[in-house]
Amino acid sequence: GSARRCLRLEPGAAREVLGAADTLLFDCDGVLWRGDAAVAGAPAALSRLQARGKRLCYVTNNSSRTRDAYAEKLRRLGFPPAEPRQVFGSAHCAARYLRQALPPGAAAYVLGGPALGAELRAAGVPHLGPGPAGLPGPGPADWARAPLDPAVRAVLVGFDEHFCYAKLCQALRYLQRGGPGCLLLGTNRDHRLPLEGGAAIPGTGCLVKAVEMAAEREAFIIGKPSRYIFDCVSSEFKIEPARTIMVGDRLDTDILMGNNCGLTTLLTLTGVTTLEEVKGHQESDCPSRKSLVPDYYVDSIADLLPALED
């Protein structure tokens, strides 16, 4: 297709672009809210979109909340009421993948938090963890002799605040024992999670990389930019890519997924990306950098409000 140009979406163009769409997929953190505060004007913009009959879905790489928790957070921050089935988090989608991919009776060894466990339970996927490593003895030599569950045929790595060497040992042992017959999945590869004031904490990508390095193999990624998470949306709703807009704040996840899946892509500058970064990609000759350039940008999704007035 023709080169994407990252045009500012002014009200006139916004009316046209929104008019041609029947579905909007929203990334959450950095687009709808930052931490625990809604982006000013974002709840009103989504309410108007919904009132105009647009289908709204929420697509997030965060594996540390369930669909239900997202629906509750949207409600609490004043967004239009959402059903859990409109929420596509990497925890829910990982559970969905395993439900289809694991042979009957097989289980997953899971590094993650309670929400990942809850989504696996809801999908009926047998699993060990998430939780403490719980291995016997004081050190790695003892852990290497700890019993392995015979049912485990997959290792799933999500956001795990209690990630540790013992869990890394166990993940490697399951992957070595199962060989290529043991699945290796990561919820996402986000390398950092930004905090207010420029601070950041290491993201799930760091944990996935540790397991990949130990196992000498590459994980299958569930979340953005993988098209698997978009396929989950498509299998739940009738999606026409040409009538769908992906709205995100991150180029290497949200925008790349949208571009790869044939969606219209809209970058908002309320999150992690600056226009200077986009410019760098635009001016580059490298095709893989060009696919990080969105079709349009806004300073904030509140900028869509004038285009949604009667």
Contacts with Ca ion by CB under 5 A lie at 27, 29-30, 249
Q: How far is the CB of 136 from ligand PLP (least distance, A)?
A: 30
Residues found in the chain: 310
Q: How far is the CB of 27 from ligand PLP (least distance, A)?
A: 5
- Residue 193 contact partner, candidates ligand PLP, Ca ion, none, CB within 5 to 8 A by sort of partner: ligand PLP
Q: Concatenated DSSP letters for 250-302? A: -IIIIIHHHHHTT-EEEEETTSS--HHHHHHHHH---HHHHTT--SEEES-GG
The partner in contact with residue 204, picked from ligand PLP, Ca ion, none with C-beta cut-offs of 5 to 8 angstroms by kind, is: ligand PLP
In this chain, which stretch among 5-13, 45-53, 59-67, 101-109 interacts with ligand PLP, using CB under 6 A?
Answer: 59-67
* Amino acid identity at 82: A
Smaller CB distance to Ca ion: residue 188 or 244?
188
**Options 119, 190, 295, 303; binder of ligand PLP; rule CB under 6 A:** 190
Is the separation of the CB atoms in 32 and 76 below 8 Å?
no
Q: What one-character-per-residue DSSP string does 32-48 give?
A: TEETTEEPTTHHHHHHH
String marking each residue 212-251 x if it binds ligand PLP according to CB under 6 A: ----------------------------------------
Give long-range contacts, CB 8 A cutoff, 24+ apart: 197-203.
203/159
Task: Specify the residue, 190 or 295, whose C-beta has the smaller distance to ligand PLP.
Answer: 190
Work out whether 163 is an interface residue with ligand PLP (CB under 6 A).
no
- Spatial neighbors of 10 by CB under 8 A, at least 6 apart, are none
Radius of gyration of the chain (CA): 20
Instruction: State which residue, 29 or 303, has the beta carbon closest to Ca ion.
Output: 29
Task: Report the catalytic residues.
Answer: 27, 29
Residue 29 CB, nearest distance to ligand PLP (Å)? 4
Count of C-beta atoms within a 10 Å radius of residue 17: 18
The answer to whether 95 touches 123, Cβ cutoff 8 Å, is yes
**Hey, CA dihedral for 242, 61, 281, 42, is it positive or negative?**
positive
Min dist CB 309 to ligand PLP, Å, is: 28
Give the one residue of 62, 86, 170, 226 binding ligand PLP; rule: CB under 6 A: 62
In sign, the C-alpha dihedral spanning 292, 295, 299, 305 is negative
Q: Which parts of this chain interact with ligand PLP (CB under 6 A)?
A: 27-30, 60-62, 64, 159, 190, 193, 203-204
